[in-house]
Structure 1
């Protein structure tokens, strides 16, 4: 995935009033001065999305969608008659930096916060926001830990939980593909990858499927042992479920295909974005399916062409993936909730978010109450690669999901 931003500085200067995407001392001093001078005509929203390190492949694209939504809102009069002031400090894929950035922006007056799109990286921001009594929202954290039970009654995520993602993959493969035997490979050490595999396995076995074997990958880019074990049982396998992050994911799939194995590969939203499809290309990018949040085509959502046009006008190029749409959805949901609540007060705004239904690019969304964990309820999108190009298959909602 792309790790550099298109037009961030220009967009921030022209439409949002301020943006600190790095840690430049002069820029931060200028921002602080501007923030200290903020008045009742502004609503300040902070973020600590990652523009460096492993999470940047996701957060950098998400950030562009957030920028577009806030810029569009400001062009249309803002929210509650006030202009939105958006400031992002680069989290650099470091949890301590993310926590410190969040505290810094709250001290500068942030009234709501957008956290990174992952539990491990997003939770430090969510906890700091909760401690300050303000609403925090992640554009794509899918761990069931990312909710009110673990993080507090003012914390939300746009992304449906891994319970639904794993269940959707299992139910779709079992019922619609008539698969019965799955091989599972999991990257250990991340809540996202571990919980996603766990919920897939639980859902697969609940449907009646058999797990041929489970394998672990611990990083380092060497898949020789996993590939050898897979080849030893491949005749028994209908589908290979891989829960690994890019760029290692792309490398592993290339090695699987290069070895002559053409069995369907199935996974979650970590497959989404240009990094995987571009790496696999026509030769290796076939018979690969994944469960994700949306798709950039009119048949997935009739509002997508308008979004693409608006995004292109602001950023100078079309969005590369649904990650930009998730960023746009995150900012849009926050804007709509603030408008409906009439305030950014944390308690009032959080209650409003659980009372509303949001019609977003990624589908209709409701959040459960704080007592039920703020679980996001929405459909999943099934997407596949055809000669390296992503193609929308269908919207899918599992009939059964495991307990978090």
Structure 2
């Protein structure tokens, strides 16, 4: 088989591609699983783990506070009203029965809020009367009394959502309560400090709740849908690289049947053979990615960003990197057990370190740097730029696609070297 008899050309690669596409299309069950499995996992993970991420997104948008007013006085109403007037603070009033018991008050103080509420403020009976009994010095310096006796000393109690514990949020909630308290009790202070009557008169009107303003309505977004902006591209990238195992088994089957040997002794260049063997899986990868993206938009309300056309080069470069990695792995793996063990090891470890399973922003700085040695991380950066930014930066997307093409070229060169060495 002298090298001069080998005829490099695109027609040879095209014939091999068409032949392999025909073989792949016959295994319809595998094709359905290849697309259906990612959709099922995205739906399950998005509806369970996704809720935690949605809560984190919600907390970034603002603070949601429950207010249980057992005092039902002018001062307690003013306190809740001024809390609700702060920007990005949403106050939800807890329904209190007309007749209540001490046990009901204690239960709300003890139980932690859940769901969308970040904080619960319980205004206990006797709040206003306690304020009236305080001296002018204590009234004009609420920090002093609250630090000495705590919130309980002025019949207030704060509890926090256990699923979103955040010391910064807790400190912010306490500060907002103290600031609102100072304004809410101005009429009481003015009765004891006449010089403050003017300020008390100006604060008689409680501002409109921020949640009712036009600005609040404009910033309200569906955090549940935003969750899928992360999960769908992440799991799409994860399952695109699952083609590594499929390609490895395909090469093993053809090696066992003698197909690869017949191709090697034919007048076709190794490059044309490898291109022909890789292209069918790249086409399959693009089909899988397209179906997942379209399904994400239709089923989960995922946005494609302001420039959807930018998804095309990302999909092409990601599929090229995945299939080139599959090619390299196929020329390295020699047995079925090697394909299964080493393939899964490569896939799961690279997915974990790259940010496919958890956002890279949650990782330690060192892990974030290490992740850049995987093509997955560059693909995720590009998808994130298109899907989550109001104005995607072309330079960032170009850099990510360039890195993916470098990975593709590197994997292909190593695969070609191994293929020629086995020749």
TM-score normalised by L of structure 1: 0.24
Q: Pick the structure with more helix per residue.
A: 2
* Larger Rg over CA atoms: 2
TM-score normalised by L of structure 2: 0.23
Q: Pick the structure with more strand per residue.
A: 1
